[in-house]
Structure formats: structure tokens, C-alpha cells
Structure 1
């Protein structure tokens, strides 16, 4: 028998259709609005996502594929999101969503989930996700970390910042020219860092 006649049912089962993404999108929006108006906590939001997977008999692989298609629909690059998660120490390829069942978890894992859920329940309404870019300038005049949040540029240094630095001024002017408008520069000099 030739290989081209073999049907891979796992591949068919995990294939994502536009209707799958539409249904997931509507479900996510309903959950999101429930969180925003205070009717649902972040912990409940997470539980509802797993309920959605179970109720619709969606495998982990198909769920990941739905999420990727959902992100692509809104112009996000799933590879870039994965890269950013890895920068935070989270490797999506090693996440096992099936192990979220509390009966399969250690006491330490359950405590960590409770702490995380508690934090988001308490501060979730005040937290807003942001997408920023960062760079640094290290030369004879300055040692600066720079965080750029749209029209706000934050300069961090554990020393005094030399505003006469040609490299810094060239950078700020180039960034300002992108907007054809003013940018807000925030100086955080002589910063102190410590482990908490």
C-alpha cells in the first residue's frame, strides 16, 4: 500500500477551521468582558478556558493551533509571542495543559497557582499589558537602559545621565522624528536596584 493513501486522523482532528477560530473568539470576548466588569476573576477566566477545551473536546495541539490562528487574525506573530514568552522563562512547547487537573498536581504547584490567581484577583483591574521595546546606550558618557513605550522614552541609569551625549541625542531625535511630534523623555538616574 502506498503512503499517500494513509490518512493521519490526528492531523485531521487537530486541523483548525475558520469556524473554530470564530467560536473561540466569541467565547474569549464574552469572558474578557466578564472580567473587565468584575463579574469574573482571572482564576475563573483560566478555568473557563480549560472548560472550553474539555466541553468542545479540543486537544492541546488543536487549542494551540486555534490560538495561533486567533493571533494571526489580529496581526500578531505567534513566533514573536513565543519568543517573548521564552524571554520570561516560559516555553510554550513544554507546557502540558492536560496536567492542569488539580488531582495531578503537587501541593507546591497548587500553591503557586493559588498565589498567582490571588495576585490577579487583587490587582487584575489595575494591571494593563503593554508592549514596549528596549535598548541601551553604553559609551564613555553614559550607561543607560532605554524603555520605549510609544511616545514615552524612559532612560534608566545607576549613574547621573549626561544629556549632552551625542549618541543619546541622535537616538532621541531619530525616534522623535518618527512621530513628527513631541515625545516624553523620563529620566530615572542614580537608580538603585535590589533583590526582594
Structure 2
């Protein structure tokens, strides 16, 4: 299955091109991975982690949000983000509960940086800005639906794809090739 490449910095691991089910106004989602040096509480990792996050699309599947998220990555703003979305001209982010470890002034500065990004005219537009915590994502406006349905939808995506930060597991492509050859040999012997 060929997945679209929305970004040079984000690897697409799942993509819905149109709504699946009936939630919100044409709600659907895509899941991405990227390299992340900052923890959800904005501390610096000794070695990078893999960050998985999801974009929640509405009916217009406005890919300009990817441009905004690339800028957020380069400005060290993406670390706490679990979900991002654009709805009715507004940028919405849902943050990891670990973000709550920041001091009030650190939170204020972080959110002001997002507001500046939303106001900045990136992706050929100025956007409104809204945010919420993963513990209560329906308090934001990422999906136009009931609190119960919004939270169930987002929590299911989070659990299904294990969104957040994880350790990068190195793999040796030569070992993969050896295992593949062993499997082929095993199948050949069965067919004899």
C-alpha cells in the first residue's frame, strides 16, 4: 500500500483520504512519525526518540496544516503534541499530559509561540488557535461532535497507534535479509 508523503520531515504510517464512519464534519485522520529531541515536557533527550502523532482532518483535508507543523518542528514546538488539526480556519493541538509539568510561565511562553505561528500567515493564511490536553481533548475544538464521541475517537487512535514518544530501535538490514531468505528457503522446502 503506497502511503502519500505529505512532508519531508514526517513519515506517513497511516492515512485516511476521506471520512471513515460518522463523526464530526467529515472527520478522518493520518498518523506520522518524526525524529524528536525534546520530551513532551520540553526537556532535551540524550538521544533522539521517535514521535508518533496524528493529524485530524475535516471534510476539506487541508494539507496546509502540514506546513505549519513542519515550522513547529523546527521551532521545537512539536514535542508535546499528540494530535493536531485544522477546522474552520483554526489550528487545534492536543497536548500530552506531561506538558503539565511545565511552570505556568513556561506554558504561557510555549502557547504564545503557537499563537504566533498561527497568526504568522504561514501556509498562506492566518489561523485561529486552540489547544487542549489529551486527558480532556473535547474541551478544544479539534472535532465538531459531542465530548463523549470526540474523546472515544481520539483515545482509540492514541491506543491503536501508540501515539507519543518511543525509543528508536536500531535494526540491521542485513539481518532482515537473512531472515527473509530463511523464510523463503523454509517455504521452498515445504513445497517439495
- How does the TM-score come out when normalised to structure 2? 0.25
- Which structure would you say has the larger RCO, counting Cα contacts within 8 Å and 6 or more residues apart? 2
Higher helix share: 1
Higher strand share: 2
Question: Larger radius of gyration, structure 1 or 2?
Answer: 1
